[in-house]
């Protein structure tokens, strides 16, 4: 009797592992295939299957001369850092205002923030394009950062707000009696206490900026403003050098994965504390 | 008196930066969209003259209705697939099995892969001649010869599968977190009462998951509707408009056909529809919660 139930339990466990492995294969297949292709010579593409036939590590050096990879990388980094800096600073202010004050129009403002999350970028990309043109910000890093920040602002605000809500007000009252200004309180007390939340918001905005495609595509023109997403996918046409596309793709994903592995614990925790509420 | 005024002004100073940003980059463009949608418009000159609702008449044409249908299939296929896979994988990972933290970390990876790169990698996996999936299926004898995963009949299903690949990790994280809030003694009590696995799932797991499940599903739906880059890079709406979702239609009308009027009309109607539907579902969620 006992062995029977144990055997059944083992069977269930085996099925569980099999299903998890199947899901992981689905998850990792594009990355693995990209890796195999990135080690292949162009003329051997398609001959590789599960294992690489060449070990052409040189692809990882050639990519810098085949396309202006360094310049794409620089633009991507600027968009990512710009977006995350602006988002986090603006969001910290807004979240503090929402968390510590009651004011007329608060409901409306909160509602508006929610709605911005629903707004597809493609809906407003044309008027934004015309707006930036008239402001002289077309084909500039700043223009893209402003546009990206506005559409991705909601999440950091709501995230930081719920972090701030969880902080004790007593400390701030004490600081205020000691003559600390509101701004001082925010910068010296609230932000340091909400460090995990700030880090989560920063990381999320960084990923957002890193992966932008439509805005840089439409709002910039010159080569030095082209990010990796646009530059690499532009190589895909009839005569695609797939080994280069895959090399470039992997090189571009790695920084995000590395950052993610570092902040993973924070991120999952921050999301579950703040995001899903 | 003066102090009181400053105090009343204070909260507005904190939200001022974001309000300014929203007004400039969201509200002003939206206002412009309304104007563009009522006349002949193009991206160089903007609104050039009234055209008697010509732009809105496009929304009734068979071509556009097909776009709506494709978008609905994309939306529901993606969301249902993501919820189903997210639920299954989070339940699988919810038991204290060996290597769980490692599996979870790997599972989340697609979430941080930018859409454009997901599109390029999947395009290669699915490549009609050289792609690894075709080679695998032919090699295993499942297929006689390679098939085009991005041909007219299969492209929509294929991009939906890629969407599920992208979207499931968010669902898995959310649901895993929610699953961990279920107290163990409830499950133990159910075990003592002789509840089977399905009963436990139906009467314990689902009620506990419901709030998170609803919110996450709404978020996933909104994100799925917003997607442009994945489909644009993989199929550019083709072949034969088989994957022409609304996001691509707006882009095509504005930048390829240079018809900003129609693009704006589509954008506005989409936005209003999405807004009403999400208000409705949030309200429904709110009234059920209370």
Q: What is the ipTM of this complex?
A: 0.87
Mean pLDDT of the B182-189 span: 81
Contact B75, B285 (CB under 8 A): no
Residue B68: strand, helix, or coil: helix
* Backbone φ, ψ for residue B49 (5° rounding): 165, 150
Given the structure tokens 């930018």, which residue do they identify?
B114
Q: What is the CATH number of the domain that holds B115?
A: 1.10.3720.10
Q: Which residues are CB-neighbours of A203 under 8 A, at least 6 positions away? A: A84, A259, A260, A263, A266, A267
More confident: A268 or B137: B137
Within-domain flag for B83? yes
Answer whether B121 sits within 8 Å of A147, measured CB to CB: no
For residue A193, say if its preceding peptide bond is cis, omega within 30 degrees of 0: no
The answer to whether residue A277 scores a pLDDT higher than 50 is: no
Residue A272: strand, helix, or coil: helix
Within-domain flag for B121? yes
Within-domain flag for B190? yes
Which tokens hold the place of B141? 């004898």
* A-B contacts (CB, under 8 Å): 255
The answer to whether residue A44 scores a pLDDT higher than 80 is: no
Within-domain flag for B126? yes
* Domain enclosing residue B181, as ranges: 77-243
Within-domain flag for B35? no
Quick one: closest CA in B to A109, which residue?
A: B19
Domain count, chain B: 1
Within-domain flag for B14? no
| Mutate: best of B3, B10, B14, partner A, most A CBs <10 A | B14
Which tokens hold the place of B210? 């419901």
Quick one: closest CA in A to B92, which residue?
A: A16
Answer whether A131 sits within 8 Å of B24, measured CB to CB: yes
What is the pTM assigned to this prediction?
A: 0.88
The answer to whether residue A275 scores a pLDDT higher than 50 is: no
Within-domain flag for B67? no
H helices present in chain B, as ranges? 2-22, 28-37, 54-57, 62-93, 100-112, 115-125, 132-139, 155-179, 184-192, 197-200, 206-226, 229-234, 246-251, 260-289
Among 1.10.3720.10, 3.30.60.50, 3.40.50.1110, 3.90.1150.10, name the CATH number for the domain at A68-234.
1.10.3720.10
pLDDT score recorded for residue B61: 87
Long-range contacts of B222-226 (CB under 8 A, 24+ apart): B222/A117, B222/A118, B222/B274, B222/B278, B223/B167, B224/B74, B224/B75, B224/B78, B224/B79, B224/B82, B224/B163, B224/B167, B225/A118, B225/A120, B225/B71, B225/B75, B225/B270, B225/B274, B226/A119, B226/A120, B226/A121, B226/A122
The answer to whether residue A84 scores a pLDDT higher than 70 is: yes
Q: Which residues are CB-neighbours of A270 under 8 A, at least 6 positions away? A: A159, A163, A196, A197, A199, A200, A201
Average predicted confidence (pLDDT) for chain B: 86
Chain B residues whose CB is inside 8 A of the A147 CB are: 25
Q: Name the residue among B15, B21, B116 with its Cβ closest to that of A233.
A: B116
| Mutate: best of A105, A112, A122, A256, partner B, most B CBs <10 A | A122
DSSP B239: S
Report the C-alpha gap between A260 and A207 in whole angstroms: 9
């Amino acid at each position: 009797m006992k062995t029977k139930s144990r055997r059944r339990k083992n069977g269930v466990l085996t099925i569980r592992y099999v299903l998890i492995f199947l899901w992981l294969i689905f998850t990792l297949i594009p990355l693995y295939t990209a890796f195999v292709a990135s080690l292949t010579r162009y003329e051997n593409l398609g001959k590789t299957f599960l294992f690489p036939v060449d070990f052409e590590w040189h692809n990882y050096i050639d990519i810098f001369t085949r396309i202006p990879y360094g310049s794409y990388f620089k633009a991507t980094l600027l968009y990512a850092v710009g977006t995350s800096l602006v988002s986090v600073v603006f969001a910290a202010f807004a979240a503090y205002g929402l968390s510590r004050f009651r004011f007329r129009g608060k409901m409306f403002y909160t509602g508006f923030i929610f709605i911005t999350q629903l707004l597809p970028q493609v809906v407003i990309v044309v008027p934004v394009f015309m707006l930036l043109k008239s402001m002289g910000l077309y084909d500039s890093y700043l223009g893209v950062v402003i546009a990206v920040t506005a559409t991705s602002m909601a999440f950091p605000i709501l995230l930081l707000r719920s972090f701030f809500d969880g902080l004790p007000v007593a400390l701030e009252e004490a600081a205020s009696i000691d003559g600390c200004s509101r701004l001082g309180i925010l910068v010296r007390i609230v932000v340091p206490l909400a460090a995990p939340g700030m880090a989560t918001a920063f990381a999320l905005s960084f990923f957002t900026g890193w992966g932008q495609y439509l805005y840089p595509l439409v709002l910039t023109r010159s080569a030095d403003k082209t990010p990796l997403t646009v530059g690499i996918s532009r190589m895909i046409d009839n005569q695609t050098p797939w080994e280069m596309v895959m090399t470039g793709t992997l090189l571009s994903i790695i920084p995000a994965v590395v950052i993610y592995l570092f902040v993973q614990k924070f991120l999952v925790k921050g999301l579950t504390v703040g995001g899903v509420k | 008196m003066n102090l009181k005024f400053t105090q009343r002004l204070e909260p507005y100073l904190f939200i001022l930066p974001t309000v300014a940003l929203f007004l400039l980059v969201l509200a002003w463009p939206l206002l412009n969209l309304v104007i563009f949608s009522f006349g002949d418009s193009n991206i160089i000159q903007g609104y050039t003259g009234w055209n008697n609702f010509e732009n809105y008449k496009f929304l009734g044409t068979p071509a556009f209705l097909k776009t709506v249908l494709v978008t609905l299939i994309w939306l529901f296929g993606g969301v249902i697939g993501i919820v189903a896979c997210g639920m299954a994988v989070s339940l699988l990972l919810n038991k204290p099995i060996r290597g769980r933290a490692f599996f979870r970390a790997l599972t989340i990876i697609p979430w941080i892969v930018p859409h454009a790169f997901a599109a390029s990698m999947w395009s290669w996996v699915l490549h009609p001649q050289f792609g690894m999936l075709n080679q695998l299926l032919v090699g295993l004898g499942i297929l006689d010869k390679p098939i085009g995963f991005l041909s007219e009949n299969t492209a929509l299903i294929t991009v939906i599968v890629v969407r599920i690949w992208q979207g499931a990790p968010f669902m898995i994280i959310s649901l895993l977190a929610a699953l961990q809030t279920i107290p163990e003694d409830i499950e133990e009590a159910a075990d003592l009462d002789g509840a089977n696995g399905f009963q436990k799932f139906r009467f314990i797991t689902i009620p506990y998951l419901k709030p998170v499940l609803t919110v996450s599903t709404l978020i996933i739906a909104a994100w799925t509707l917003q997607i442009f880059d994945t489909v644009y890079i993989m199929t550019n709406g083709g072949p034969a408009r088989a994957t022409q979702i609304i996001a691509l239609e707006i882009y095509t009308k504005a930048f390829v056909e240079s018809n900003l009027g129609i693009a704006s009309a589509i954008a506005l109607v989409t936005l209003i529809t999405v807004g009403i539907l999400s208000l409705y579902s949030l309200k429904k969620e709110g009234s059920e919660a209370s």
